[in-house]
Amino acid sequence: MTDPGSLLRDHGLSVTAQRIAVLRAVAACPHGTADDIAESVKSEIGSISKQAVYNALGTLVEKGVLRRIQPAGSPALFENRIGDNHHHLICRACGKTVDIDCAVGKTPCLHASHHHGFHIEEAEVIYWGTCPECRTQA
Amino acid sequence: MTDPGSLLRDHGLSVTAQRIAVLRAVAACPHGTADDIAESVKSEIGSISKQAVYNALGTLVEKGVLRRIQPAGSPALFENRIGDNHHHLICRACGKTVDIDCAVGKTPCLHASHHHGFHIEEAEVIYWGTCPECRTQA
DNA sequence: GTAAAAATATTGACTTAGTCCATTTTTGAC
DNA sequence: GTCAAAAATGGACTAAGTCAATATTTTTAC
Ligand SMILES: [Mn+2]
Ligand SMILES: [Mn+2]
Ligand SMILES: [Zn+2]
Ligand SMILES: [Zn+2]
């Protein structure tokens, strides 16, 4: 991982213990919720306020350092794998989330057939299914 | 529209004033929120409880009569256009939501490149962009 | 048509995933 | 080191639902 301090400085952000810990936590739990991140940060630096977690995550997403995924029926998930337009496959039963490479590459992989005059910025793809573990249980 | 009474009966559901009104409301406001539906129902039959709205919508989605869309940062939306696997294009600025015909056949992106042993049931696609109105304002 | 059983609706408390805001603390620039 | 700007904290507040007990309506059986 890039040094969190430089990463923050490179994006014009002040370097705080909380932001550094949040960056480390996201690296440690990919596709973690704000709550997962908070727990991980607490175990690393002792304490952090809920608001600081949301602020750090929000700012870092804004700067393009992190990516936020908001699957239906789940709190938002965060990851630091960015810039490759990858997608997600989520288990409907247990919520397990895995990365799926975009079959087409790095450029936006989907083009709406008729765009109604909209300017399209992103095509978000979520695959829903059942993971191997949940499937054997059913 | 199919007669709401028969539609309910055909799916083994009891026919109640609330369910009929909810079906009419969804037909009247496609991509409406539970709240939109509730307002529409109230103007039609006088009153309905919040819970009855959620119950009716939930049951009808379960039976495949309605479809629920849950875009990031928005309450769930409901529609009665089902069975054609169409997608949605949403304006980031104002939330305007329009239908987009399914891209299957046009892109390889709808088939996960590597499915990690999951059984994939659905590929959900949401296009994010800016609608013509919001674009001229910017 | 009526009565009992089953399904549904109502009400109000409760929950989750956040946001808002006033105050305190930390950071970066000089 | 001083000071202004930025960030963190704590606590109240909100939106979008869910839960559970009770009341009402609908269906089924006669
Ligand atoms: Mn990912
Ligand atoms: Mn639609
Ligand atoms: Zn699973
Ligand atoms: Zn718009």
Q: Which residues surround ligand 4, an ion (CB under 5 A)?
A: B 91, 93-94, 96, 131, 134
* Per-residue pLDDT, A135: 87
Cβ of B11 near strand C (distance < 7 A): no
Residue A112 pLDDT grade (very low, low, confident, very high; cuts 50, 70, 90): low
Q: What share of chain A is helix, strand, coil (3-state, %, to 5)?
A: 35, 20, 45
Tens-place pLDDT, residues B70-92: 999 999 999 999 988 788 999 99
Closest to B36 in 3D by CA, of B78, B81, B99, B92: B78
Residue B107 pLDDT grade (very low, low, confident, very high; cuts 50, 70, 90): very low
* Per-residue pLDDT, A115: 79
The answer to whether residue B7 scores a pLDDT higher than 80 is: yes
Whether the CB of A124 is below 8 Å from some CB of chain B: the reply is yes
Closest to A73 in 3D by CA, of B123, B76, B128, B85: B76
The answer to whether residue B109 scores a pLDDT higher than 50 is: no
Tens-place pLDDT, residues A115-137: 788 988 888 889 888 999 988 87
Distance CA A86, CA B97 (A): 24
Chain B residues in contact with A91 by the CB 8 A cut-off are 118
Distance CA A123, CA A88 (A): 12
A119·B110 Cβ contact <8 A: no
- Which candidate from A68, A89, A102 shows the least CB-CB separation from B116? A89
Computed over every residue of chain B, the mean pLDDT equals 89
Tens-place pLDDT, residues B52-62: 999 999 999 99
Whether the CB of B84 is below 8 Å from some CB of chain A: the reply is no
B121·A104 Cβ contact <8 A: no
Residue partners of A109: CB distance under 8 A and separation at least 6:
A85, A102, A103, A123, A125, B107, B109
Chain A residue with minimum CA distance to B113:
A103
HEC secondary structure over A12-38: CCCCCHHHHHHHHHHHHCCCEEHHHHH
Distance CA A26, CA A36 (A): 9
Beta strand residue intervals within chain B, DSSP E? 32-33, 67-69, 77-79, 87-91, 97-100, 119-130
Distance, Å, A48 CA → C24 C1': 15
* Per-residue pLDDT, A103: 63
Domain chopping of chain B, boundaries: 4-77, 83-137
- For domain B4-77, give its CATH number from 3.30.470.20, 3.40.50.300, 1.10.357.10, 1.10.10.10: 1.10.10.10
* Per-residue pLDDT, A113: 59
Q: Whose atoms come closest to the Cα of A94: which ligand? A: 3
**A54 three-state secondary structure:** helix
* Contact of A77 with A115, CB cutoff 8 Å: no
Chain A residue with minimum CA distance to B125:
A125
Residue B115 pLDDT grade (very low, low, confident, very high; cuts 50, 70, 90): confident
Residue B106 pLDDT grade (very low, low, confident, very high; cuts 50, 70, 90): very low
Identify from B70, B118, B126 which residue to disrupt to test chain A contact, counting A C-beta atoms within 10 A and taking the largest count: B118
Beta strand residue intervals within B57-118, DSSP E? 67-69, 77-79, 87-91, 97-100
Q: Which CATH architecture has domain B83-137?
A: 2-Layer Sandwich (3.30)
Q: Which helix (H) or strand (E) holds B19?
A: helix B17-28
The answer to whether residue B103 scores a pLDDT higher than 60 is: no
Identify from B69, B127, B137 which residue to disrupt to test chain A contact, counting A C-beta atoms within 10 A and taking the largest count: B127
pLDDT > 90 fraction of chain B, expressed in percent and rounded: 66
pTM above 0.85, yes or no: yes
Categorise residue A15: left if φ over 0, alpha if ψ from -120 to 50, beta otherwise. Answer: beta
Whether the CB of A115 is below 8 Å from some CB of chain B: the reply is yes
* Per-residue pLDDT, B86: 85
CB atoms within 10 A of CB A133: 12
Least confident of A10-24, A95-109, A114-128, B58-72: A95-109
* Contact of B11 with B19, CB cutoff 8 Å: no
Q: Which nucleotide comes closest to A75 if you measure CA to C1'? A: C17
B89·A118 Cβ contact <8 A: yes
HSE-up (13 A, CA, CB side) for residue A51: 0
Residue B34 pLDDT grade (very low, low, confident, very high; cuts 50, 70, 90): very high
